[in-house]
Amino acid sequence: MQLRSYQLFHYTLPLKQPFTTHAGALHEREGIILELQDSEGRIGYGEGVAFAVPFYTSETVVSSWILLQRSLLPLLFESKVTHPAEIPGLFAGIVGNQMAKAAVEGAVWDLYAKQQNKSLASCIGGTQTKAKAGAVISLSDNLEQTIEMIHQQGFERAKLKVEKYKERQEIERVKQIDANLPLMIDGNGMYKQADLPLLADLDSLELLMIEQPFMSGDMVLHQQLQKQVKTPICLDETVESWEDAWQALELEACRTINIKIGRVGGMTAAIRIHDLCQQAGLPVWCGGMVESGISKAHNLALASLPGFTIPGDLSGSDRHFARDLLQQPLRVEGGSIAIPDGPGIGVEVDAEYLAYVSRDVVQGG
């Protein structure tokens, strides 16, 4: 691909309001943007979506930052990569660190698509021109205001963050405001085996799904719960690879999977998981990480694949940030977001603002 140089940006974007789960409140979003440049000056962008502290996965912004500089980017520039799908093999000797790997692969995919003068969606076989959007309601959101926003923008479902042992009353409060709002809840892995009866009791509320009720990596408890309830169980943190997804399907531990590019190690793995689920007749959806518009654009390309039939966590650029890293924000219109059809990820990065909000910038090549 004739790579010439790279730049790494450690950015911080303030949130319009705190994003709160049982694990705590997020007031600003730290992250990493990788900019790859080829010999003809074309630029590809990828994003490292680890958080500042390891409450979601074991990765952090700092650990990704170090690994990118010391291992992943040197490997990339020492190799002769001709296609983005070669990246997982290139990094096979490095255990875990899926989000750091995905940042590199994302930048390579964007650059490759631009070199082909094609959209990233078309390069990966996407068939949909719009992605159905879903909103996330955090514990610190004003329910009335957020549900009004959901109606105004036409979101097709809402995902409710819940507090343990207050799930039913929180769900019922939403239903009191809008009885017809398609609703799911996110357990974020906070439940234990003793909570199986509690979760099974929620079956009567006819939720769209219960996402990741048990700890990451736990297939057995998810399988046991899914056997007891009609409500689909969705896996999130438990699936960090194609192999995890295959085991989940073999064990019938879920009826849907939330695919996040960063969590599974990159676009190539995300595509493989999509294909596996499609062959098994399992619908999937695209998750979000309260990330910038650069990562959102990658997510939209992934969501163009035919198996993404459930509305994802695909909010517009203005959902969490007063100002994003894009020249033109991504917007929800009529419950969907148009999948960019320009070259690569199809969005223009605001390079000046990216530099402004970055506390550290490293160059190399």
pLDDT, tens digit (0-9, with 9 covering 90-100), for 139-150: 888 899 999 999
Identify the weakest region by mean pLDDT among 13-17, 101-105, 128-132: 13-17
Residue 323 has pLDDT above 90, yes or no: yes
Check if 175 is active-site: no
| Contact in structure between 69 and 76 (CB atoms under 8 Å) | no
321-333: average pLDDT:
93
The confidence band for 1, taking pLDDT boundaries of 50, 70 and 90, is confident
- CATH 3.30.390.10 in the chain: give the residue spans: 3-117+350-364
Among residues 101, 114, 132, 260, the one annotated as catalytic is 260
Cβ atoms within 10 Å of 237's Cβ, excluding its own: 21
Please give the class, per CATH, of domain 122-338.
Answer: alpha beta
Structure confidence at residue 319 (pLDDT): 81
Structure confidence at residue 23 (pLDDT): 66
Structure confidence at residue 26 (pLDDT): 79
Burial of 89 (0-12, 13-18, 19+ CB in 10 A): exposed
| Contact in structure between 207 and 255 (CB atoms under 8 Å) | no
Residue 218 has pLDDT above 80, yes or no: yes
51-80: average pLDDT:
95
Q: Per-residue pLDDT tens for 171-215? A: 999 999 999 999 999 999 999 999 999 999 999 999 999 999 999
Note the pTM of the prediction, 2 decimals.
0.95
Q: Per-residue pLDDT tens for 186-197? A: 999 999 999 999
Among 205, 226, 275, 203, residue whose Cα is nearest residue 246? 275
- CATH 3.20.20.120 in the chain: give the residue spans: 122-338
CA distance readout (Å), 182 to 59, 81, 155: 32, 44, 10
For residues 115-140, one letter each, b for 16 or more C-beta atoms within 10 angstroms of the residue's C-beta and e for the rest, the string is: beebbbbbbbebebeebbbbbbbbbe
Check if 130 is active-site: no
Among residues 161, 175, 227, 230, the one annotated as catalytic is 161
Query: What superfamily does domain 3-117+350-364 belong to in CATH?
Result: Enolase-like, N-terminal domain (3.30.390.10)
Structure confidence at residue 18 (pLDDT): 76
Burial of 350 (0-12, 13-18, 19+ CB in 10 A): middle
Structure confidence at residue 27 (pLDDT): 85
Q: Per-residue pLDDT tens for 89-98? A: 999 999 999 9
- 239, amino acid identity: V
149-171: average pLDDT:
92
